Amino acid sequence: MWHVPKLKEACGVIGICTPEPVAEYLYFGLRIIQHRGQESAGISVFEETHHAILKGMGLVHQIMNKDQLSNLKGNRGIGHVRYSTFGVSALQNVQPFVVQTTNGEVSLGHNGEIINAEAMRNDLKRKGWAFITSSDSEIIIRLLANELSIHADPVKSIKNLMGLIQGSYSLTIMIGDRVFGVRDPYAIRPLCVGKMNGGWAVASESVVFDNLDGELVRDVEGGEIVEVTCDGVKSWKVPSPKEKAHCMFEWVYFARPDSVIDGRLVFEVRKNIGKKLSKEHPTQADVVIPIPDSGRAHAIGFSEESRIPYAEGLMKNRYVERTFIMPDPSERVMGVMLKLNPIKKEIEGKRVILCDDSIIRGTTMKQIVHILRKAGAKEVHVRIGSPPVVAPCYLGIDMKTRHQFVATDRTNKEIADIITADSVGYLSLGGLVECIGLGDRNLCLGCLTGEYPMSIEGECVRFQKKIDSF
């Protein structure tokens, strides 16, 4: 089995309370953040006495239809799109999860990854707890149900839950008819709150409010619990570190370019990355070409700064799945060629600068370089809008082992040889931090540095003093 080695982020979440039925708003909201998860999707809507669920494997529009949505009359609910980073890709792991508790039904959607999930699962099994899925999100909802059975108060129960789980999480939770948004104390995964349709909502990205005629109000803070009602937002906080750990890949790749994440417009950050790349890795060339869609803003910035013309030299087929199961090497090449087709007039006889957000294994990049050369490129210079990825992510990205990274223990020249490019240039760590503009002490850079914002077995913790510094 072979998978196209493109980064996969955990999920996207949304929660809404309005005076009108919310099912269609949840549906369209999930379609807007479909890029955050294309494996499965679901919504949960409060219907007088129970939570009504629509969910399944596939894209949002494949799972829900107009008739199903029109039958849901509830004016509050939550939604979720998923990629699996913890737990297998299967129907049993599709969210939102729903459980019966002494305080009524509870629905939950989770974006992120809980690093102590397996240890808690094993401990709870020894105590007699049983689990239906392999997802870390099931552990979250079962722990929450247990807290509710003890305290009844939803806010106190959520606060206690936050004291038990470690890792990254942006949650949408519906307890009875109350809708909550929760962001982990380090604010690793994005979550924002806004006005919409006479009510209020939380979502993974601000584009939900833009596209549904709403208004972004603010980001949910790290360690904050918000309750969205038809009249406004209530807020509670748990103790949180002063220095946050926003995932740098949100600005580099995951989020939509038109989203505002923690006060930074993603498109502007990416364009500035391209400008910085041009300064750090200048080269003589005739054209700057992006790998669509993730490299487009990087390439625009590179072109503006270098004054080398920008061109759309690769066209993307949007109807080809992101993952291929192709055991034969020739089929792997065909998989990429099905997704990308060159415009030969923009490439033939030219020295090309090829921009993208990252290189993980190098397999796909090698195939794209091959496509450009076959289209007549005289030279291909690869420019990457992030530093080399050299360490695993434990906090919500599907990168778990060091051996999979092409950059580990290799020079840029060696990487260029592997992907058959004339040169490779990565953005520097300092350049990345400068372009995002939040400072290195407020970013999670673990996959770039091997130093993480929290204690992970066998790994270094960021800001830790080395023994020889004493």
- As beta bridge partners, residue 225 has 182, 236
CB 108 within 8 A of CB 97: yes
| Helix (H), strand (E) at residue 234 | strand 233-237
Provide the token pair at 104.
């009524």
CA–CA separation, 358 vs 23, rounded Å?
A: 36
CA–CA separation, 447 vs 248, rounded Å?
A: 10
Provide the token pair at 11.
């999920």
CA–CA separation, 165 vs 112, rounded Å?
A: 12
CB 18 within 8 A of CB 199: yes
| Helix (H), strand (E) at residue 53 | strand 50-57
CB 139 within 8 A of CB 121: yes
Alpha helices by DSSP H, 375-411: none
CB 42 within 8 A of CB 432: no
DSSP 300-353: HHHHHHHTPPB---EEE-TTS-S-----SHHHHHHHHHHHEEE-HHHHTT-EEE
Cα dihedral 178→179→183→188 (10° resolution): 160
CB 452 within 8 A of CB 396: no
DSSP 121-189: HHHHHHTT---S-S-HHHHHHHHHHHHHHHH--HHHHHHHHHHH--EEEEEEEEETTEEEEEE-TT--S
Q: Give CA separation, 448 vs 86, 98, 204, 234, 444, in Å.
A: 21, 37, 24, 37, 9
Any idea which residue has 């199903």 for tokens? 68
CA–CA separation, 379 vs 40, rounded Å?
A: 41
Q: Which residues are catalytic?
A: 11
394, with CB counted inside 10 A (0-12, 13-18, 19+), is: buried
